[in-house]
A and B are shown apart, each in its own frame.
Chain A
Amino acid sequence: MRYSGLKVITEGLFGNKGWKPAWRDPAPKAEYDAVIIGGGGHGLSTAYYLAKNHGITNVAVLEKGYLGGGNVGRNTTIVRANYFLPGNSEFYSHSLKLWEGLEADLNYNVMHSQRGLINLFHSDGQRDAFARRGNAMINQGDDAILLDREGVREHLPYLDFEQTRFPIYGGLLHPRGGSARHDAVAWGYARGADRRGVDLIQNCEVTGIDIENGVVKGVQTTRGAIRAKKVGIVVAGRSSQVAAMAGMRLPIESHVLQAFVTEGLKPVIDHVVSFGMGHFYISQSDKGGLVFGGDLDFYASYAARGNLPMVEHVMEAGMTLMPMIGRAKVLRSWGGIMDMSPDGSPVIDKTHVEGLFLDCGWNYGGFKAVPASGWCMAHLMATGESHEVARKFRLDRFATGHLLDEEGTGSQHNLH
């Protein structure tokens, strides 16, 4: 069923009785050309682009819970392409272009809103670094505008510019940055993949990966064995456990990242604002809630909830930056489990097993990467070659020293 304004009107006239489920609920078949482990944003987009770009439609997505029930439903929905390093820059630029055409492509409203992202800076040195980053973004073909203090004040008059600890010197505006509705992204890709023939199989946990003589043959699941010529592991948050089924030890440590949302308020924050020095960023959802977060709790965790010191730190940073939010009531907080890689960049690569592919290590930046990650993973699974914008996301780059350390803090698990 194609969605349209006319469809909404006609359904409204006839009691909304004509709507159908957005995707089927098939039983797993005995064999597929390709199996994707993980029905989150990245897994669903991988399946979608396998079908759409490569004509591979005999595909199953295996999800142990429900579609979009993991990190794609537990993030702060920021979409941006403000990376500096070659390798990252072209990948996120590609992703942002896909975001811009996503709703028309999927025939699904993902509420993508390019409201502009402003990264604040607080010293002369930081201004230089941000000017350089902005130039890199422009060279990549994206947009960046360096704002001085008065320029920031025009956009964000409510900030405390005179705070003593981090007085605001200016900001880097990325007008095409913004946010989107996270659940809708998962649902849109799920519906798009299903319409092209992909089987989306929920409540189906993979318990083993069948490998014979170094070649993948299929997977064992809680709903029986499924043979497959190619298998993609796309389970960020649980990558180490699934990769261990194939005898792999990954360069990943799982950490918890907390986020918070307030009660719904009238429109007050029009942009995505990032306050790096305070480890704080914020935007306002279309529903009105202020959505904000900070840094990792900084210890390995799978608890999907954090500790109070980071809650306090995030609230303090928010009050330092914009005291006006002090009366807003926090409704909810939650924690997402991040695949943290030593250099803070992801992996989209082959493995030592023929036919087994790996997409993992999304750190705290997986949401904006959903379209390009699926695009590149599908390309890798279909052709056996890395896509040109993901060619540096190598699994062996830590051993070879070809790091993608965007922060420049070093290749160590506890530094990103």
Chain B
Amino acid sequence: MRLTCPLCGERDRREFYYYGAEDYLRRPGEGAPLADWDDYLHLRDNPAGVTKDLWYHEAGCAQWLLVTRNTVTHEISGVELVAGRKE
């Protein structure tokens, strides 16, 4: 598997650290009920197919990346900078 980092170009999978599903980008606000935190930390759609998840370019530019990929075929269809996303 190779990921194309928007800053560094195509790089080996070993340069990246996998963090988890994009749910991590939806952190509950202050005072949110416990169920929201359970949802955010533990519960996952875990799709067999297209998913979006977070990777860290540990041995490269140290940017967090939002990767769109297929969990069945390992095909990668998009990589964007988390920092560049609009809220």
Q: Which A residues contact B (CB, under 8 angstroms)?
A: 238, 240-241, 244, 249-254, 298-303, 307, 309, 342, 398-399, 411-414
Contact = CB atoms under 8 A, between A and B. Distances in A.
26 contacts: A240-B46, A249-B44, A249-B45, A250-B43, A250-B46, A253-B20, A253-B44, A253-B46, A299-B18, A300-B20, A300-B53, A302-B71, A302-B72, A303-B71, A303-B72, A303-B74, A307-B74, A309-B14, A342-B42, A398-B38, A398-B41, A398-B42, A399-B35, A411-B42, A414-B19, A414-B20
B43 A249 contact: yes
B83 interface: no
B22 to A, nearest CB: 11
A238 B44 CA distance: 13
Contact of A302 (B14, B21, B48): B48
Given A249-B45, A309-B14, A399 B34 contact: yes
A240 B71 CA distance: 13
Contacts of A298: 18
Classify the interface of chain B: helix, strand, loop or mixed: mixed
A399 B20 contact: no
A301 B44 CA distance: 13
A414 B18 CA distance: 7
B13 A252 contact: no
Contacts of A412: 20, 41
A19 to B, nearest CB: 39
Nearest to B72: A302
A413 B41 CA distance: 8
Interface residues of B, number: 27
B51 interface: yes
A362 to B, nearest CB: 15
B13 A307 contact: yes
A301 B71 contact: yes
B1 interface: yes
Contact of A413 (B34, B44, B55): B44
A254 B12 CA distance: 22
Given A253-B21, A302-B48, A414-B19, A399 B42 contact: yes
B71 A254 contact: yes
Contact of B44 (A252, A303, A307, A399): A252
B46 A254 contact: yes
Contacts of A342: 41-42
B42 A241 contact: no
A114 B13 CA distance: 39
Nearest to A249: B43
Contacts of B12: 309
Contacts of B18: 298-300, 414
Given A244-B45, A251-B43, A300-B20, 15 more contacts: A240-B47, A249-B43, A249-B44, A251-B42, A253-B21, A253-B46, A299-B18, A299-B55, A302-B71, A303-B71, A309-B12, A342-B41, A399-B35, A412-B41, A413-B20
Interface string B51-66: 1010100000000000
The 4 closest A-B pairs by CB, nearest first: A240-B46, A251-B42, A399-B38, A299-B18
A301 B41 CA distance: 19
B1 A250 contact: no
Contacts of A302: 48, 71-72
Contacts of A307: 1, 13, 74
